[in-house]
Amino acid sequence: MFIIKLDATDSTNTYLKDMASVAMPKDYTVVVAEQQTSGRGQMGTQWDAEIGKNLTVSVFKKFANFKVENQFYISMAVSLAICKALKSFKIPKLYIKWPNDILSANQKICGILIENVIKNNKFKGCIIGFGLNVNQKFFNDLPRASSMSLLTGIIYNKDEVLSKILNALQFYFKMLESHKYEELKTQYERLLFRKGKPSTFKCVNNKTFSGIIQGISETGKLVLWMEDDVVKTFDLKEVTLLY
| Non-local CB neighbours of 19 within 8 Å, separated by 6+ positions | 25, 29, 60
18-57 per-position pLDDT tens digit: 999 999 999 999 999 999 887 655 545 555 578 899 999 9
Average pLDDT over residues 110-131: 94
User: Confidence band (pLDDT; 50, 70, 90) for 104?
Assistant: very high
Distance of CA 102 to the CA centre of its chain: 7
Report percent pLDDT > 70 for the chain.
Answer: 95
The reply to whether 74 and 114 lie within a common domain is yes
The reply to whether 64 and 94 lie within a common domain is yes
The reply to whether 146 and 207 lie within a common domain is no
Distance between CA atoms of residues 57 and 235, nearest Å: 26
The reply to whether 57 and 177 lie within a common domain is yes
Residue 59, pLDDT > 80, answer yes
Q: Output the pLDDT for position 140.
A: 86
The reply to whether 168 and 237 lie within a common domain is no
Beta bridge partners of 103: 95, 108
Residue 65, pLDDT > 90, answer no
Distance between CA atoms of residues 141 and 20, nearest Å: 36
> Domain residues for 208?
198-242
Amino acid at position 72, single letter? F
Amino acid at position 6, single letter? L
| Non-local CB neighbours of 158 within 8 Å, separated by 6+ positions | 54, 55, 134, 135
The reply to whether 229 and 137 lie within a common domain is no
User: Confidence band (pLDDT; 50, 70, 90) for 145?
Assistant: very high
Lowest mean pLDDT among 50-54, 55-59, 90-94, 150-154: 50-54
The reply to whether 119 and 219 lie within a common domain is no
The reply to whether 33 and 135 lie within a common domain is yes
Phi-psi region of 15 (alpha: psi -120 to 50; beta: other; left: phi over 0): alpha
Q: Please report, for residues 183, 205, 236, the alpha-carbon distance to residue 213 in angstroms, rounded to integers and kept in the order given.
A: 19, 20, 14
CATH number of the structural domain spanning residue 237: 2.30.30.100
Q: CA geometry: angle at 85 spanning 199 and 193, to 5°?
A: 5
Q: Output the pLDDT for position 47.
A: 53
The reply to whether 202 and 129 lie within a common domain is no
The reply to whether 212 and 238 lie within a common domain is yes
Q: Output the pLDDT for position 50.
A: 83
CATH number of the structural domain spanning residue 165: 3.30.930.10
Backbone angles phi, psi at 150, to 5 degrees: -65, -35
The reply to whether 22 and 45 lie within a common domain is yes
The reply to whether 138 and 225 lie within a common domain is no
User: Confidence band (pLDDT; 50, 70, 90) for 174?
Assistant: very high
Distance between CA atoms of residues 19 and 11, nearest Å: 13
Structurally, the chain folds into a number of domains equal to 2
Residue 159, pLDDT > 60, answer yes
